[in-house]
Structure 1
Amino acid sequence: MARIEQQLVSLLAPAVEALGFTLWGVEFVRAGKHSTLRVYIDHEDGISVDDCAEVSYQASALLDVEDPIKSEYFLEVSSPGMERPFFSAAQMQQYLGEIAAVELNVAQQNKRKFKGVISKVEGDTVEFNVDGEPLLVNYSSVKKAHLVPQFN
């Protein structure tokens, strides 16, 4: 996670949790005047539009006071959804046996982008089953990862 995103998590997590939600993760996508700050919230009963509006209102006020981002940006608050992005190995622990789509910063075992079953998580190391073969990945080498929903 980038330094600004870590700072934003530290800033926003207490406010989100005080409202009864879990801060799933934060993404800051730089694009000049069209930069976007995405705040993902979660709750065991799901997330409604009203929940997003409530968190957006609180987060916006907090961000205005603390001003951690000096440039213009749009604030988006949403549920992580079915294709939830992962922000840590610990989050993947909750989805053992599920399929994740992963993009690495640098290829490992000739794989930079792959889909694999999350088979084990130990600390910051995640083991995926990719085409019947184990692939161990240190989470710090993950550029992006998200859950691949399965429909039966």
Structure 2
Amino acid sequence: MNLRRYWAILPLTFAALLSGCMTDSTGTTYSSSEARRIQQVSFGTVSELQYVTLEGTEGAVGTVAGAAIGGIAGSSVGGGRGSDIAAILGGVAGGVLGSRAEKQLTTQQGIEMTIRLDSGKYISVVQEVDPKVPLQVGDSVKILTQGNTTRVVRMR
């Protein structure tokens, strides 16, 4: 078995698996289950913006992919029982590192918006930054609420 070939494709496979886990939580993205549902609508003006960090996920994909890569790497060390032990240790270490890598790769830039509603009440909403629709203080916005999900979109 030629392990060098696997070493070349494993990091790419790992990155591809993790990118499939990333979700878009901007104000203009909906899941298919949110379509065709009534939303409560409010209007307001952005009074303050602050950039925040949206923590990434620590799911099974990073752990499993890291464990697989670590196990393969460890199995190539030594021979016999030493190789088996190295494969197990490599799998454990790879799982831990894979979980951390997943969290790092899925961390996103968010924005906390303080909004003065037309009613005079203030609210705050955090969502992922949407570079296609940047918000600024003073922008008129529409606040859409559906169950526990609220999103803010700039009025055009």
TM-score, with structure 2 as normaliser: 0.24
**Bigger proportion of residues as strand:** 1
**Which structure is richer in relative contact order (CA contacts within 8 A, separation 6 or more)?**
2
Larger Rg: 2
